[in-house]
Amino acid sequence: MYAQLVETGAKRLKTMEEMSPEEREFQEKVDAETKIEPKNWMPEGYRKTLVRQISQHAHSEVVGMLPEGNWVTRAPTLKRKLQLMAKIQDEAGHGLYLYSAMETLGADRDEEIEKLHQGKAKYSSIFNYPTLNWADMGAVGWLVDGAAIVNQVVLQRTSYGPYSRAMVRICKEESFHQRQGYQILLDMMREGTEEQKAMVQDAINRLWWPSLMMFGPHDDESPNSQQSMAWKIKRKSNDELRQMFIDQTVPQLEFLGCTAPDPDLKFNEETGHYDFGEIDWQEFYDVLKGNGPCNRERINTRKKAIDEGAWVREAAVAYAKKQKQRAQAA
């Protein structure tokens, strides 16, 4: 509960006594697991944190379409092509749900997307890595969507109603994303040539650590976590979610007959969890600063898509206006 978080020395959190009556009533609602809805009073900081997190989540879904879009025309079979197209379309829909949830907080979609294009808003670091071959499609589905599922299943219990309900819909589709990715790798490991098996291991070697970075910095390095946990925006910490992901993924890795690029990865009988090596945080923050392998390419592609799609948006708005005029004239 909130009071315990304050006791644990969470420095920046107000005590219940320091809160205004509205803040105290709001916190009591959050503590009682009552969903906060758009029309409810909320602290400005709560609203701002949600706009930040949900907009960046939406950006991640939309930019996340690019690494896989790269392989639609080169899928090895029609079935794989259809699965990949379905997955990419799902990600676009996830972005739309999330931009809509963000707009319930009074944020403007075009403004938030412009912040992304100007490098003033983030999207998940993982999408700044290249997808070099078909095994990467499997590793992205299995590891990236697998990590996203761990995060998003817990986010279904976030305190903000529209975000929580968007997560319920998104999680239903994510499970298919992860399974189709794992199936790609399983097929390659079972029926592939030695070269194809080596491709699978290489894809895991390249995407393993960037997938762990998706959960964010360590809890004690996270400027947002304490307050987000107190407001139950976040229900589990970055490190807790990362550990959950590793614990569930290592047995799947072993079933594939592959290894992780981490010599320190080892099951700890005492804790019941996997111990693992230290993430290269220099790499993490370099990518966040825009210096990842594909940052510029991803943003330029998004800007081009927005420019080239302007006529579609203009036509849709013109049509909607005409329809409204017709309805008013009728």
Distance CA 184, CA 77 (A): 11
Select the residue interacting with ligand 3HC from 159, 178, 225, 249 (CB under 6 A).
225
Stretch that binds ligand 3HC, among 3-11, 30-38, 213-221, 260-268 (CB under 6 A): 213-221
- For 88, 120, 290, the CA distances from 123, given in Å and listed in that order, are 17, 10, 11
Tell how strand 273-275 and strand 266-268 pair up: antiparallel
Select the residue interacting with ligand 3HC from 148, 189, 207, 299 (CB under 6 A).
148
Our finding on whether 136 is near ligand 3HC (CB under 6 A) is no
Q: Are 127 and 289 in contact (CB under 8 A)?
A: no
Select the residue interacting with ligand 3HC from 81, 109, 122, 303 (CB under 6 A).
122
What residue spans of the chain are helical by DSSP H? 2-7, 21-31, 44-63, 65-69, 78-103, 109-117, 134-139, 145-155, 161-191, 194-213, 225-230, 238-256, 281-286, 295-308, 310-329
φ, ψ for residue 275, nearest 5 deg: -80, 150
Q: CB of residue 191 vs ligand 3HC: minimum separation in angstroms?
A: 26
Our finding on whether 165 is near ligand 3HC (CB under 6 A) is no
Select the residue interacting with ligand 3HC from 51, 72, 265, 288 (CB under 6 A).
288
Q: Are 116 and 64 in contact (CB under 8 A)?
A: no
| Angle 161-27-165 from CA coordinates, rounded to 5° | 10
Instruction: Take residue 35 and report the two structure tokens written for it.
Output: 């969903």
Pick from 285, 133, 266, 296: nearest CA to 207: 133
Our finding on whether 64 is near ligand 3HC (CB under 6 A) is yes
If the CB atoms of residues 123 and 197 are measured against ligand 3HC, the closer one turns out to be 123
If the CB atoms of residues 61 and 262 are measured against ligand 3HC, the closer one turns out to be 61
Our finding on whether 67 is near ligand 3HC (CB under 6 A) is no
- What mask of x and - would describe binding to ligand 3HC in positions 88 to 107, judged by CB under 6 A? ---x--x-------------
Local structure of 257: helix, strand or coil: coil
Separation of first and last alpha carbons in the chain: 56
Select the residue interacting with ligand 3HC from 30, 84, 105, 144 (CB under 6 A).
144
If the CB atoms of residues 49 and 201 are measured against ligand 3HC, the closer one turns out to be 49
Stretch that binds ligand 3HC, among 22-30, 73-81, 223-231, 318-326 (CB under 6 A): 223-231
Q: CB of residue 246 vs ligand 3HC: minimum separation in angstroms?
A: 15
Q: CB of residue 140 vs ligand 3HC: minimum separation in angstroms?
A: 8
Our finding on whether 24 is near ligand 3HC (CB under 6 A) is no
Residue type, 271: T
Q: Are 88 and 72 in contact (CB under 8 A)?
A: yes
The residues binding ligand 3HC (CB under 6 A) are 52-53, 56-57, 60-61, 64, 91, 94, 122, 124-125, 144-145, 148, 151, 174, 213-217, 222-225, 228, 234, 238, 288
